[in-house]
């Protein structure tokens, strides 16, 4: 018998809750995560009426955070993030988290970034493997580029 979780090529996680702890603040939001193995992760934050308010696109070399409400985005090369994030930001950890292939109750990632301590915790809803996913890059022409410090304010 083949282990589907270990062999998946695409993953779609819907009806999930993502809890983001930033220092002492905590936010829980509905989210959807779609992943193409070793290629791209798209995390859609949709707290109201399934409208995407924040989108995070991650490839093995770059992360984009797109604030759809304020029409702005930032881009962070993962090589730069690896220098500033403790422990080092690793593609495989992000891919396992976003694909729902982390098992058990410890579905979380924790990092320190500049003066922030960030922890992501997921409660997975529906997890499907090897189904069609929509992980194309968002067209960013309508959005203003800002540096990460501006976006974090």
Burial of residue 36 (CB within 10 Å: 0-12, 13-18, 19+) is middle
Q: Does the structure show a pLDDT above 80 at 73?
A: yes
C-alpha to C-alpha distance for 133 and 73, rounded to whole angstroms: 23
pLDDT at 1: 40
How many domains are contained in the chain? Answer: 1
Query: Which CATH number does the domain housing residue 52 bear?
Result: 2.50.20.10
Q: Can you tell me whether residue 51 is helix, strand or coil?
A: strand
pLDDT at 2: 47
CB 54 within 8 A of CB 68: yes
Query: Which residue range is the domain that position 76 belongs to?
Result: 4-152
Instruction: Encode pLDDT of 95-107 as tens digits.
Output: 999 998 765 556 8
Instruction: Encode pLDDT of 6-19 as tens digits.
Output: 689 999 999 999 99
């Amino acid at each position: 018998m083949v282990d589907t979780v270990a062999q998946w090529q695409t993953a779609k996680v819907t009806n999930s809750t993502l809890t983001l702890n930033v220092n002492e603040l905590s936010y829980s939001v509905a989210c959807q995560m779609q992943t193409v193995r070793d290629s791209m992760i798209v995390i859609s934050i949709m707290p109201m009426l399934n409208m995407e308010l924040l989108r995070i696109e991650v490839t093995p070399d770059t992360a984009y955070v797109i604030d759809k409400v304020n029409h702005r985005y930032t881009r962070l090369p993962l090589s730069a993030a690896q220098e500033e994030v403790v422990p080092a930001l690793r593609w495989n950890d992000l891919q396992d988290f976003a694909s729902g292939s982390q098992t058990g109750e410890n579905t979380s990632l924790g990092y320190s970034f500049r003066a922030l301590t960030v922890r992501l915790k997921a409660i997975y809803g529906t997890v499907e493997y090897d189904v069609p996913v929509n992980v194309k890059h968002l067209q960013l022409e309508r959005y203003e580029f800002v540096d990460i410090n501006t976006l974090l304010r």
